Structure 1
Amino acid sequence: MTTAAPEPTAPREISTVGVIGLGTMGAGIAEVFARNGFTVIGVDQDDEGVARGRQHLEHSTGRAVARGKLSETDQKALLDRISLGTSMADLAPADFVVEAVVESLEVKKAIFRQLDDIVAPDAILATNTSSLSVTEISTANSRPGRVVGIHFFNPAPVQNLVEIIRTVVTEADVLERAKSLVEQVGKNPVVCGDKAGFIANTLLFGYLNHAVSFYEGKYASREDIDAAMRFGCGYPMGPLALLDLIGLDTAYEILDTMYKQGRDRLHAPAPILKQMVTAGLLGRKTGRGFYTYEGPDSSKVVADERTPSADNAPQLRHDITTVGVVGTGTMASGIVEVFAKSGHDVLYVGRSQEKVDGVVAGITRNFDKQIQRGRATEDDKAAALARISGTTSLDDLADVDLVVEAIAEDLAIKTTLFENLDEICKPGAILATTTSSLPIIAMAKVTSRPQDVIGMHFFNPAAIMKLVEVVTTVSTSDDVAESTRALCDKVGKVAVSCGDRAGFIVNALLFPYLNDAVKMLEAHYATADDIDTAMKQGCALPMGPFELLDVVGNDVSLAIQKELYLEFREPGFAPAPLLEHLVTAGYLGRKTKRGFRDYSAR
Structure 2
Amino acid sequence: MTTASTERTARTFETIGVIGLGTMGAGIAEVFARNGFTVVGVELTEEAVERGREHLAHSTGRAVSRGKMSEEQQAEILGRIGFATDLSALADADFVVEAVVESLEVKKDLFRRLDDIVRPDAILATNTSSLPVTEIATANTRPGRVVGVHFFNPAPVQNLVEIVRTVVAEPAVLADVEGLLGRVGKNPVVCGDKAGFIANTLLFGYLNHAVSMYEGRYATREDIDAAMRFGCGYPMGPLALLDLIGLDTAYEILETMYRQGRDRLHAPAPILKQMVTAGLLGRKSGRGFYTYERADSPVVVADDRTPSTDDLPELRHDIRTVGVVGTGTMAAGIVEVFAKSGYDVLYVGRSQDKVEGVRAAIARNFDKQIQRGRATEEQKTEVLGRLSGTMSLDDLARVEIVVEAIAEDLAIKTTLFENLDEICKPGTILATTTSSLPIISLATVTSRPQDVIGMHFFNPAPIMKLVEVVSTVATDDAVAETVRALCAKVGKVAVSCGDRAGFIVNALLFPYLNDAVKMLEAHYATADDIDTAMKQGCALPMGPFELLDVVGNDVSLAIQRELYLEFREPGFAPAPLLEHLVTAGYLGRKTQRGFRDYSAR
Q: What TM-score, normalized to structure 1? A: 0.98
Give the aligned CA root-mean-square deviation in angstroms: 1.1
Query: Is 1:234 matched up with 2:237?
Result: no
Q: Distance in 2 between matches of 1:158 and 1:377?
A: 43
Question: Unpaired segments of 5 or more residues in structure 1?
Answer: none
Paired residues of 2:283 and 2:297 also in contact (CA < 8 A): yes
**Structure 2 counterpart of 1:93, which letter?**
D
Paired residues of 1:418 and 1:447 also in contact (CA < 8 A): yes
Q: Aligned residue for 1:47?
A: 46
Q: Distance in 2 between matches of 1:222 and 1:370?
A: 36
Paired residues of 1:116 and 1:141 also in contact (CA < 8 A): yes
Q: Aligned residue for 2:364?
A: 365
**Structure 1 counterpart of 2:167, which letter?**
V
Q: Please give the per-residue CA displacement for 1:485-539, whole angstroms capped at 9, x wherever unaligned.
A: 0000010000000000000000000000000000000000000000000000000
Q: Aligned residue for 1:265?
A: 264
Summarize the Cα distance change of 1:425–1:35 in structure 2 as closer, same or farther, 3 Å threshold.
Answer: same
Q: How far is the alpha carbon of 1:65 from its aligned partner?
A: 1.0
Q: Aligned residue for 1:524?
A: 523
Q: Distance in 2 between matches of 1:51 and 1:221?
A: 45
**Structure 2 counterpart of 1:150, which letter?**
V
Paired residues of 2:158 and 2:536 also in contact (CA < 8 A): yes
Q: Aligned residue for 1:33?
A: 32
Q: How far is the alpha carbon of 1:9 from its aligned partner?
A: 9.5
Q: Distance in 2 between matches of 1:33 and 1:201?
A: 24
Q: Distance in 2 between matches of 1:374 and 1:76?
A: 49
Query: Is 1:535 matched up with 2:534?
Result: yes
Deviates more, 1:80-89 or 1:504-513: 80-89
| Counterpart mapping for 1:387-398 below 5 A | 387-398=386-397
Q: Distance in 1 between matches of 2:316 and 2:428?
A: 12
Paired residues of 2:352 and 2:391 also in contact (CA < 8 A): yes
Query: Is 1:328 matched up with 2:345?
Result: no
Q: Aligned residue for 1:147?
A: 146
Q: Aligned residue for 1:180?
A: 179
Q: Distance in 1 between matches of 2:341 and 2:221?
A: 29
Q: Please give the per-residue CA displacement for 1:25-47, whole angstroms capped at 9, x wherever unaligned.
A: 00000000000000000011112
Query: Is 1:105 matched up with 2:104?
Result: yes
Question: Unpaired segments of 5 or more residues in structure 2?
Answer: none
Q: Distance in 2 between matches of 1:289 and 1:199?
A: 26
Q: How far is the alpha carbon of 1:12 from its aligned partner?
A: 4.3
**Structure 2 counterpart of 1:442, which letter?**
S
Q: Aligned residue for 2:78?
A: 79
Q: Distance in 1 between matches of 2:376 and 2:156?
A: 45
Summarize the Cα distance change of 1:9–1:267 in structure 2 as closer, same or farther, 3 Å threshold.
Answer: closer
Q: Please give the per-residue CA displacement for 1:42-92, whole angstroms capped at 9, x wherever unaligned.
A: 011112211111111111111111111111111110000001221111111
Q: Aligned residue for 1:280?
A: 279
Q: Aligned residue for 2:484?
A: 485
Q: Aligned residue for 1:439?
A: 438
Paired residues of 2:11 and 2:176 also in contact (CA < 8 A): no
Query: Is 1:348 matched up with 2:328?
Result: no
Q: Distance in 2 between matches of 1:377 and 1:46?
A: 68
Query: Is 1:118 matched up with 2:120?
Result: no
Aligned to 2:398, the other structure's residue is in SS state: coil
Paired residues of 1:12 and 1:122 also in contact (CA < 8 A): no
Q: Aligned residue for 2:15?
A: 16
Q: Distance in 2 between matches of 1:600 and 1:50?
A: 56
Q: Aligned residue for 1:510?
A: 509
Q: Aligned residue for 1:472?
A: 471
Q: How far is the alpha carbon of 1:8 from its aligned partner?
A: 11
Q: Distance in 2 between matches of 1:39 and 1:596?
A: 42
Q: How far is the alpha carbon of 1:466 from its aligned partner?
A: 0.0
Query: Is 1:595 matched up with 2:594?
Result: yes
Q: Please give the per-residue CA displacement for 1:314-340, whole angstroms capped at 9, x wherever unaligned.
A: 111000110000000000000000000
Q: Aligned residue for 2:551?
A: 552
Q: Distance in 1 between matches of 2:568 and 2:492?
A: 33
Q: Distance in 2 between matches of 1:498 and 1:343?
A: 27
Paired residues of 2:160 and 2:188 also in contact (CA < 8 A): yes
Q: Please give the per-residue CA displacement for 1:309-362, whole angstroms capped at 9, x wherever unaligned.
A: 000111110001100000000000000000000000000000000000000100
Paired residues of 1:346 and 1:387 also in contact (CA < 8 A): yes
Q: Aligned residue for 2:64?
A: 65
Paired residues of 2:588 and 2:594 also in contact (CA < 8 A): yes
Deviates more, 1:531-540 or 1:366-375: 366-375
Q: Distance in 1 between matches of 2:375 and 2:82?
A: 58
Q: How far is the alpha carbon of 1:598 from its aligned partner?
A: 0.3
Summarize the Cα distance change of 1:11–1:553 in structure 2 as closer, same or farther, 3 Å threshold.
Answer: closer
The number of residue pairs the alignment matches comes to 597
Identity %: 83
Q: Which runs of 4+ in 1 moved over 4 A?
A: 7-12
Q: Distance in 2 between matches of 1:146 and 1:459?
A: 49
Aligned to 1:225, the other structure's residue is in SS state: helix
Q: Please give the per-residue CA displacement for 1:381-422, whole angstroms capped at 9, x wherever unaligned.
A: 111111011000000000100000000000000000000000
**Structure 2 counterpart of 1:341, which letter?**
K
Deviates more, 1:195-204 or 1:54-63: 54-63
Q: Distance in 2 between matches of 1:504 and 1:143?
A: 51
Q: Distance in 2 between matches of 1:535 and 1:517?
A: 10
Paired residues of 1:12 and 1:95 also in contact (CA < 8 A): no
Q: Distance in 1 between matches of 2:349 and 2:166?
A: 59
